[in-house]
Amino acid sequence: MATDDRHARLQWSDQFSVGIPEIDEQHKTLFDLINMIHTGILDHKGTAACVEVLNELVDYTRVHFGLEETLMRVSKYPEYEDHRGLHRELVSEVVVLQEKIHSGKAAISFELLYFLRTWLTKHILGEDMKYAAFFALNESAGFGDWVIQSDRAIQKRKKKWWKFW
């Protein structure tokens, strides 16, 4: 993502990979949802269409944060509470923005889009990479087995587990 171009779409690359297939796939989905808002703005689809995608993004973010937080908690990640706090702050900020949009006091704009994509990319590259390194060093906690088991289950179903919720 070019930091000086507010109109650039998010592009997934390996630099964003935390090395956990399920989480990487969820991050890609978050990128896709943000890009759908971007497309809606460019195509003048209207606030209603963008609000629908924003709502889906917020719901999906909660599912994603739930998985990350569960893995951190069961792995006894030492920065769990701080990371969880960052998640709560984002959800709170976006809920306030949603309320403003629904009440007509704000609109879906490139500023909102820029905020979302900047937050996501900085969060992945900063905070998420910290837990990825912790998990990689602490495979004895059973995390590696969880990754193997979940990959097998995904392959059998040909769908990502979170798409069944």
Residues 13-48 have pLDDT tens digits of 999 999 888 899 899 999 999 999 888 888 888 787
Domain membership flag for residue 164: no
Mean per-residue pLDDT of the chain: 82
Give which of 81, 76, 67, 83 is closest to 124, Cα–Cα.
83
Number of domains forming the structure of the chain:
1
Domain membership flag for residue 3: no
Other CB atoms within 10 Å distance of the CB of residue 150: 15
Domain membership flag for residue 8: no
Domain membership flag for residue 14: no
Domain membership flag for residue 10: no
- pLDDT on residue 147: 64
Residues 71-112 have pLDDT tens digits of 888 888 999 999 999 999 999 988 888 888 888 887 888 888
Give which of 30, 29, 31, 52 is closest to 40, Cα–Cα.
52
Domain membership flag for residue 5: no
Domain holding 114, by residue range, is 19-150
The phi, psi pair for 155, rounded to 5°, reads -60, -40
Domain membership flag for residue 97: yes
- pLDDT on residue 160: 53
CATH number for the domain harbouring residue 101: 1.20.120.50
Cβ-Cβ contacts under 8 Å for 152 (sequence gap 6 or more): none
Please give the model's pTM, rounded to 2 decimal places: 0.81
Domain membership flag for residue 121: yes
- pLDDT on residue 99: 86
